Copies of this chain bind each other. A is one copy, B any other.
């Protein structure tokens, strides 16, 4: 069983803990075997020893919402309102360019960007999700992958009548295939799925024991576009349909009033907030402070990089903390520690990942090493700096499930050059109509 011993490092075990100075961390197979001060370092035996002097070891970040394959569309259409962006640019580009091959290679490119910025796990949501799953599996990332469902024809499901059964096939294919990959259901939104479709999708998730994701209350005018509304808000619409429960992951949740927040809290549903995307599309600012104070489990995601345009979760944490402060007109709101929690244990809980998001003996060895010697991290008084000054580019080495997938900023788990070449070929096609 492969084993790695990191020595002389600073360990930041989780958002709520202090750093341990001059420490060691030993992995065994896919788990953390021991953590402690260097005075108690074990003999390496067969472990590979990595001198991590001057490095911070922390849990790998988890991206709570991404459409990974959309790397192809990043920067194609900026500075546009959501509806125009979606209907005039993204949906047409997708209709023209999506293919299994596109999803595979563009998801690999996203995996490279995520790994290089310290993300070890992603909740993906797209189409041709078997290809996303294959790509993330091939790249060695941990992932929860929701296959998309909409009530109109898409390249992956030309006949919308078969949308739920396509996802059922994806789930049965991936449910026990790779311990790092967990399939899920992703009903795109109540404005692209009828109540009947939403009910079928949720039943599929419940029957197969996987998570049920959907975009909800992203924009102020969403209610007007919902198919067959049952309530006075997107959340009340969901609740009226009986679709709001512990298994429901509400993505965005920007426009929730007090009654909506209470409904979410009572139901045990969770929320993934995507602040940068919500800002760039001028969708709004989610009421994260109120969610946290009601005990709603909150995660953090980048959204697809066509609307962000970065998959760097360090930037996302920074934005989450800052936008909540300004929205609440209170600089003490959403301190750095909460942002770090959302991006690690918060997301892990929401994705039902077991023993992920914290560094502790017996937990999964999903961890990242940051170089603390950069000028912008000097002096390093406390881990708040990870939110307010660090960026993904400070991540030097990444381990997922006990395997080094990046070391000294070199991707080890797959061929990055081949990936870029294939995506650039697809980008040439994309440009011809651009």
Contacts and interface: CB of A to CB of B under 8 A. Distances in A.
A81 to B, nearest CB: 5
A323 B279 contact: yes
Interface stretch (A13-21, A123-131, A227-235, A382-390): A382-390
A385 B328 contact: no
A423 B376 CA distance: 12
Given A79-B336, A282-B331, 10 more contacts: A71-B378, A78-B384, A80-B332, A279-B322, A305-B376, A310-B389, A311-B376, A312-B376, A315-B318, A375-B420
Interface in A386-406: 388-389, 391-394
A284 interface: yes
A283 to B, nearest CB: 8
Interface residues of A, number: 73
Interface in A19-66: none
A394 B392 CA distance: 11
A389 B309 contact: yes
Contact of A78 (B75, B375, B376, B388): B388
Interface stretch (A266-274, A346-354, A424-432): A424-432
Copies in the complex: 2
A311 B389 CA distance: 8
A293 interface: no
A10 to B, nearest CB: 14
B279 A325 contact: yes
B381 A280 contact: no
B388 A310 contact: yes
Interface stretch (A109-117, A152-160, A187-195): A109-117
Given A113-B375, A378-B109, A78 B325 contact: no
A308 B378 contact: no
Given A388-B309, A389-B309, A332 B379 contact: no
A285 interface: yes
Given A379-B74, A388-B78, A315 B312 contact: no
Contacts of A247: none
Main secondary structure of the interface of A (DSSP, over half): helix
Interface in A302-339: 305, 308-312, 315, 318-319, 321-323, 325-326, 328-333, 335-336
A199 B36 CA distance: 61
Nearest to A323: B279
Contact of A75 (B82, B325, B381): B381
A412 interface: no
Given A310-B389, A335-B78, A335-B79, A378 B423 contact: yes
Of A326, A376, A394, A423, most buried by chain B (CB within 10 Å of CB) is A376
A76 B385 CA distance: 9
A373 interface: yes
A259 B343 CA distance: 43
Of A276, A335, A388, most buried by chain B (CB within 10 Å of CB) is A388
Given A326-B279, A373-B420, A389-B310, A332 B81 contact: yes
A348 to B, nearest CB: 24
A423 B377 CA distance: 12
A416 interface: yes
A281 interface: yes
Contacts of A280: 321-322, 325, 331, 388
Contacts of A174: none
